[in-house]
Amino acid sequence: MNVLTTSTTDLQVLVRKVAERAIFADIVKRWDWGEGVALAGVTRAHALTGDQTLMFAQSWINDQLSLNYPVWNVNRSALSVTLLHLYTITQDERYLNACEENINYLLNEASRVGKGAIEHTVTLNVWPKQVWADTLFMAGIFIGKYGKLTGNTELVDACAEQFVYHLDYLSAADGLFYHGWNEVNRNHMSAVKWARANAWITVTCAEVLTDILTPEHPLYGTIAERYRQQVDALLPLQDAETGFWHTVLDDPAGYLETSASCGFAYGILRGIRAGLLDESYRSVVEPTFYQLVNHQIDDYGTVHGVSAGTDIYESAADYNAVPIHLPHGWGQGLALYLITEWIEDQRS
């Protein structure tokens, strides 16, 4: 698709296409992380542009809840951000009750690693005693959003603690982050700096610093410093022609990946708008945004160039071999994050 202008009207049309593709392309079919990321993006579209696509997903969510879903794990927690939004606009207690069940799981039942980092748990496979960057998006940010909505400062503190635990476990010397940590072997396994793992961190750090924590919080400064260090480490790795990043950040032989690039640009733009980063960083965001809206989204709203679901693999070559299929919920969702943030920025 070639967007001739970036007027708010044109972008709202694009948002609707991307959101509808997320809902109607057989993406939303089970209660899992991919659906969670897709619906988180659709939720942002509803909150910021009034797009009604979320309402088409509401009946599916209601059906899932009536069947006593979900059985909680970390990845399935990704849908709870959407449940929170549905509660705020409907006051339907079913959504809040499901969120309460999820919070109870995350705080009281989820396995922990080391000092208390939540172990990454998924639907189909088990990786015991591992810490993944993905957890911050799938569960960490929800803890904070729920705490803020309910006025529970202990949950806000718990959210901040999870961020510090994960950033400590996953940090690399250059300011980037590894995909995961294995507590049993005491290492980062393949020690790959995977782009989407880093994007989960950029997105959620920007959100926790702007939506959940105040500058007076004792852990705010630590998270803000790590966020800025990561952003600065990303700058020399950005592709000059497209504004995108490679799927293995420090391996230019790999392909340029859309979902991670959207996550980086969203997190950086959000930081600029909040004063966490100065205005010079706009030169990082702009080429990414224009590449996305002019070259990566087709006329049906499908976001192209998105890698498939990715476990922690043994080598950079394995990450580079992850296929690109169409469409992916996380690609649709993270594209919506960036486009809606751009619209919000243009309005301010």
Q: Copy the structure tokens of residue 131.
A: 């810490």
Q: How far apart are CA 34 and CA 74, in angstroms?
A: 12
What's the CA angle centered on 148, arms 339 and 259, to 5 degrees? 25
Please say whether the beta carbons of 217 and 281 come within 8 A.
no
pLDDT band of 1, cuts 50, 70, 90:
very low
124-154 pLDDT per residue, tens:
556 689 999 999 999 999 999 999 999 999 9
CATH of domain 8-347: 1.50.10.10
Residue pLDDT, tens place only, 190-221: 999 999 999 999 999 999 999 999 999 999 99
pLDDT at 225 over 90: yes
**pLDDT tens digits along 41-73:** 999 999 988 888 888 889 889 999 988 777 899
Q: How many CB atoms lie within 10 A of CB 16?
A: 16
Tokens of 12: 């709202």
Q: What is the rounded distance in angstroms from the CA atom of residue 275 to the CA atom of residue 91?
A: 33
What average pLDDT does this structure show over 185-192?
94
Q: For the whole model, what pTM was predicted?
A: 0.96
Residue 246: φ, ψ to 5°: -75, 150
Q: Which two tokens stand for residue 307?
A: 């890698």
Two tokens at 115? Answer: 């000092």
The strand pairing partners of 303, in sequence order, are 297
- % of the chain surpassing 70 pLDDT: 97
- pLDDT at residue 87 is higher than 70: yes
Residue 326: its pLDDT value, please? 83
Calculate the CA 265 to chain-centre distance.
12
User: Given pLDDT bands bounded at 50, 70 and 90, which one contains residue 121?
Assistant: confident
Task: Tell me: pLDDT of 160 over 50.
Answer: yes
CA-CA distances (angstroms) from residue 9 to 13, 56, 222, 292, 346?
Answer: 6, 22, 39, 17, 12
Q: Which sign does the torsion angle of CA 127, 130, 134, 136 carry?
A: positive
